[in-house]
Chain A
Amino acid sequence: MIEFIAGVFSSSNYWFIVLRSTAPILLVTLGAVITERAGITNMAMEGSMLWAALTGVIVSAATGSAWLGLLAGIAVSVLVAIMLGVFALKLDANQVLVGVALNLIATGGTVFVLFALTGDKGISSSLASKTLPTLVIPYVKDIPWLGRVVSGQNLIIYISVLAVVIIHIILNKAPIGRRMKATGENVEAARAAGINPNRVKFFALVISGILAGFAGCFLSMGYTSNFTSGIAAGRGYVANAAQVVAGGTAVGAIFASLIFGLTDAMATFLQNVGLPPELIQALPYVVTILGFIIVTLIRDRRELARKKKLFASTAGKTA
């Protein structure tokens, strides 16, 4: 068993799959990070991904261009995020319930549309949809082991890495990042400082919509080459858990989504050794919950230590 796992970890094929499984989670986790920073929970990214995945397939099949498919997918995904904003911010709805509702609409709606177009409820294989290109990086591809992992991946994998950099810059360097932080921490204070909290929240939602759009299109136009019903498979929800593990930072999102990607890819390999696939499929979700608990435990302990220190220093002063 240990030999087998060691063998898997040293195979470039495994790490190739790890990157593929991680990228969509990474994208939506970044979306969760940025919306949480602005003080709004986007629980509808699952729905965003579903609509993006379906729209990408339909538009690319209709126009023959994967790029137009991607663009349309992102547009629809952003629309879902904006709808969440309208209901949660303008109509005072419970944002979590709106997320649940939008996901339900997406789950049923995508199948409804798919059936109306193709007469099939499960898969879009009758549509001649396109896939997004893979990228072979010159020189890097010739590096012995690394080349086979890093090069030749789907375009979206590289975009997800780029997204980490962009979100990091937005959160930490751009003025809008400071406004987001202010809004997320204290709406009244932000408003007093002349910030329009709703505008900031909508901005964060749109960004998360774009990210979920990329993730959704990747699922149906790269990871696989079809739309299947329920293709998002809870990744949008995983993102909301991973966001906590990420500690609300873009760099943390890499590690948080890697936890999922590593186990997800491992599951593919473990299936070959005859372990029950049902238990293996549950593994990524179990690990996500565990990661979630461990991170909170560590953070609580740190907080406790900080308070003790603070208490000790003030006690020393008064004595």
Chain B
Amino acid sequence: MAAHTSSPHFSTGPSKKGIAGNIGLFFTDRDKLEPAVVTLLAAVFSVLAGVGLIFLVSKHPAQSVTNFLLGPFMRTYNIYYMMIAVVPLVFTGLALCIIYQLKYMSLIVDSSFYMGAVVATAIGVHAALPQGVHPAVAMLASGLVGGSIGLLPAILKIKWRANELVSSLMLNYVFYFFGSFLILYYLRDRNQTILASLPFKETFSLPKLVENTQLHAGFIIAAVFVILVSLLLFRTKWGYEIRITGANPKFAAYAGIPVASVVLYAHFISGFIGGVGGAVEMTGLYRAFIWQMNPSYAWDGVIVAMLARKNPKFVPLSAFFLAYLRVGADFMSRRGDVAFEFITLLQGMIILILASDRIVNYFKARRVRKAALKAEEVSLKIEESSPAAASTAKGGAA
């Protein structure tokens, strides 16, 4: 990760002043506030870019833009749809927050999520378990499988210094093909003309939160995971080790932190979350495995984690933003002449902006530059008054 030149800064622990103190700190700490503002601007910019693109290609731009921006709120079921769409984004976003705290680049959570769904399908179709226990068992099994898969790029990196992004992308292809092989050869419903697994057992379903909607208890599970991951990262020794290792692996090693095992358990936890996400999606939303292709929520997770600035607390917010964009784009593309895929384009743009340290830290850099100029002026003035004092001042500065 040669390109990471930004100085690592992390909070060593929550402030003891309580929530009010935290908020006060948040708004006075310009180093934290400014990147947050830039992140917000990037989000706004992406929406504007989307509107621009619509005007470029649509024959009825006004209507398409209205559908895109307001569509998510125009129908009640769209709001529920948004809440359902948030669930997988939260899981992959959380998983990637952990990876990014570690300053790793692995995208293996795509496989964890997909295989999690496949494992859940197998359990949903074949296992005979009581109501309530059935989905829980599936989530646990999917989590364990997802976690084990998550370990692979980390092992390759530690043992053979394989670039984890490249190896995880290769593995994603392998697991995608392997997963669809399992569905096709062992779980397929041969009575269906389209590719689908056998139907899930009755017991394999999460309760609905609202009658007559698709909104399922997975929404609650996702919220619980947000809290758990926040606690893990900022309130436990494990999370502290992950953040220290990410900030400076050499320092972590000198401080006696077993860096290799930190990397491994962080990847396992990340994969576990991805696997659970896959299972929740299956048991909450579907009655059989019907994905014709990989939904690739990990790529959405990248942007969720980046918008949240690697902080699990903000994952729900950025997941909602992304879900809003997606539901809007979906609503628009069904009623107009703009392809849904333009959302991927916007996502890429957001990542481009947020990945650029010089853009994100623009205000900070300007402040530092101004301060440096001021300091120089001061030292020049000192030099004019007494050369000897200036030389000691400069020596002190150096």
| A residues adjacent to B (C-beta < 8 A) | 39, 43, 87-88, 90-98, 100-109, 111-112, 115-116, 121, 234, 237-238, 240-241, 244, 276, 278-279, 281-282, 285-286, 288-289, 292-293, 296-297, 300
Contacts and interface: CB of A to CB of B under 8 A. Distances in A.
17 contacts: A91-B356, A91-B357, A92-B6, A93-B358, A97-B105, A101-B348, A101-B351, A108-B346, A108-B348, A115-B339, A116-B57, A244-B162, A278-B178, A279-B177, A282-B181, A285-B171, A285-B174
B357 A93 contact: yes
Q: Interface extent on B, as a size class?
A: 35 or more
B170 interface: yes
B169 A87 contact: no
Interface of B: 1-6, 53, 57, 105, 107, 156, 160-163, 165-167, 169-171, 173-174, 176-178, 180-181, 184-185, 299, 302, 306, 338-339, 341-349, 351-352, 355-359
Give the top 10 A-B pairs by smallest Cβ distance, nearest first: A108-B344, A105-B348, A104-B348, A278-B181, A115-B339, A101-B351, A282-B177, A97-B355, A91-B356, A111-B341
Contacts, number: 152
Given A108-B345, A112-B341, A292 B167 contact: yes
- Most chain A beta-carbon contacts within 10 A, residue among B2, B184, B341: B341
A234 B173 contact: yes
Given A104-B348, A108-B344, A121-B341, A94 B169 contact: no
Contacts of A288: 170
Contacts of A116: 57, 338-339
A107 B2 CA distance: 26
A88 B3 contact: yes
B347 A108 contact: yes
Contacts of B177: 278-279, 281-282
A39 B2 CA distance: 9
A97 B160 contact: no
Given A87-B352, A93-B355, A234 B169 contact: yes
Nearest to B365: A92
Given A105-B345, A108-B345, A279-B178, A100 B351 contact: yes
B185 A276 contact: yes
B105 A96 contact: yes
B166 A104 contact: no
B164 to A, nearest CB: 10
Nearest to B347: A104
A123 to B, nearest CB: 14
B184 A278 contact: yes
Contact of A91 (B178, B348, B358): B358
Given A93-B3, A95-B3, A102 B348 contact: yes
Contacts of B357: 91-94
A257 to B, nearest CB: 14
